[in-house]
Amino acid sequence: MTTVKTAPEVRSGTATTTPARRIPVVGSVLALLVALLVGGMTGWFVRGGVDDSRDLVVAGQTQLTDRQADIADFMREYEAAWQQGDGDAVVSMFTPGGTATFLGTTYRVDDGSLAEYVDSGDWASLDVLEPILVGGGNQAVSFHTFNGATYVNIVQFTGQGELLLVGHQITY
């Protein structure tokens, strides 16, 4: 008589399965989920790069409206003013009631706290990263590095007329 050895059975409740059959199913499901995630994200990015009618565009990778191009340029000038530690230049880029909330602390244009904050710091290592995401005609999102850390900038501009900052928020 010949004896055939098989994998040990695992009993769970009323079902009996062999471990060798469970691993390929779990692996296949995980591979399918990863493929769907990667495919979905790829489609989102590809679709985003072609459709000029959407509200959020990436500066430098699609045709911008004049205002959106102005926002991208403005962000570079704003960065330079910060790097130079020029509080007056930074404040001149805001509306009179503009605010800046950096990591939970709010600085105001009208009480001088924003200009004082800029003047008192060493901002030479500040580097705004590309791309700058420009939404509609009055919002932008970018990332910047400062002293080895990376932060998110969310800026709100006037809706029309002269391009000025209404608010600037920095988060992690």
Are 121 and 46 contained in the same domain? no
- Residues of the chain under the 50 pLDDT cut: 25-26, 28-56
Are 60 and 39 contained in the same domain? no
Are 106 and 161 contained in the same domain? yes
Indicate the pTM of the whole model: 0.64
- Whether 44 is in a domain gets the answer yes
Are 46 and 84 contained in the same domain? no
> What is the structure's pLDDT at 131?
86
What are the pLDDT digits (tens) for 83-121?
A: 999 999 999 999 999 999 999 999 999 999 999 999 999
Are 65 and 111 contained in the same domain? yes
- Whether 2 is in a domain gets the answer no
> What is the structure's pLDDT at 69?
85
Please give the full DSSP string across 84-128, using - where no structure is assigned. TT-HHHHHTTEEEEEEEEETTEEEESTTSHHHHHHHTS--TT-EE
Q: In which domain, by residue range, is 26 found?
A: 10-50
Number of domains in the chain: 2
Instruction: Give 101's strand partners.
Output: 106, 169
> What is the structure's pLDDT at 67?
87
Are 102 and 147 contained in the same domain? yes
Asked if 126 and 82 count as a contact pair (C-beta separation under 8 A), the reply is yes
CATH number at residue 100: 3.10.450.50
